[in-house]
Amino acid sequence: MNLSSTCINIFEKATQEYHINNDVNGIIQNPFLESTFEHLLYKKNYIDAVQWHLEDIVRNPAISPEQGLMIKRRIDQSNQDRTNLVEKIDDYFLQKYAHVECIENARLNTESPAWAIDRLSILVLKIYHMQEEVMRKDADSLHIQNCESKLKILLEQKADLSAAIDELIQDIAHGYKKMKVYRQMKMYNDPTLNPVLYSQSKH
């Protein structure tokens, strides 16, 4: 099985299992051993699924300012957790292909394998929820038709992104492209780099 198929199978499993209870406060039950690549993929998509629904909740016009702020801070932490996981996935690839000698003039990709996989995880969630919209019984025919058109595009995008990920991995494995990673270094979450935060510590 190629990499993209492995990712999609695990992402779909995590998405479906999240929606059994559909609870943003639920506890993840990761079926894969903690030391495995599969564990990282499952955890990544589960975090994405929770955040997807937090983003829905915070857009409720009736939400109180206090609850909205609490949800926004959860989303902020979720984004940091997501970034940390993506970097762990890239660490897996860095280690796996550390022995590969690149050809002369080997190229760099615009994004690392893990960030492409991150997009695939979000795409699986988009497809799941767009499929829900297609199946809605309370929506009119125009809404269903529009969602069917969007679902078709999302499925095409999934096929294209899957092929691109598999091609990138093959290029890295053969030394045609360099495996190089830059950390995100999100400054606003770092109390030593965010001036609002470090100025507070001086008072």
pLDDT digits (tens, 9 = 90+) for 110-129: 899 999 999 999 999 999 99
Q: Angle at the Cα of 6 (from 106 to 110), degrees rounded to 5?
A: 30
Question: How does the average pLDDT of the chain come out, rounded?
Answer: 93
- Residue 147 to residue 130: CA distance in whole angstroms: 6
| Residue 203 confidence class, pLDDT cut points 50, 70, 90 | low
Amino acid 128: pLDDT: 98
Amino acid 170: pLDDT: 97
Amino acid 68: pLDDT: 97
Rg (CA), the chain: 20
Q: Taking Cα atoms as reference points, which of 71, 46, 73 lies closest to residue 60?
A: 71
- Residue 1 to residue 199: CA distance in whole angstroms: 52
pLDDT of 81 > 70? The answer is: yes
Boundaries of every domain in the chain: 3-188
Tokens of 83: 């970034």
pLDDT digits (tens, 9 = 90+) for 10-68: 999 999 999 999 999 999 999 999 999 999 999 999 999 999 999 999 999 999 999 99
| Residue 167 confidence class, pLDDT cut points 50, 70, 90 | very high
Per-residue three-class SS string for the chain: CCHHHHHHHHHHHHHHHHHHHCCCCCCCCCCCCCCCHHHHHHHHHHHHHHHHHHHHHHCCCCCCHHHHHHHHHHHHHHHHHHHHHHHHHHHHHHHHCCCCCCCCCCECCCCCHHHHHHHHHHHHHHHHHHHHHHCCCCCCHHHHHHHHHHHHHHHHHHHHHHHHHHHHHHHHHCCCECCCCCCCCCHHHCCCCCHHHHHHCCC
Tokens of 168: 């990138």
Q: What is the mean pLDDT of residues 173-194?
A: 79
Amino acid at 51: Q
Amino acid 84: pLDDT: 93
- Residue 138 to residue 162: CA distance in whole angstroms: 33
Q: What is the mean pLDDT of residues 131-136?
A: 97
pLDDT digits (tens, 9 = 90+) for 141-165: 999 999 999 999 999 999 999 999 9
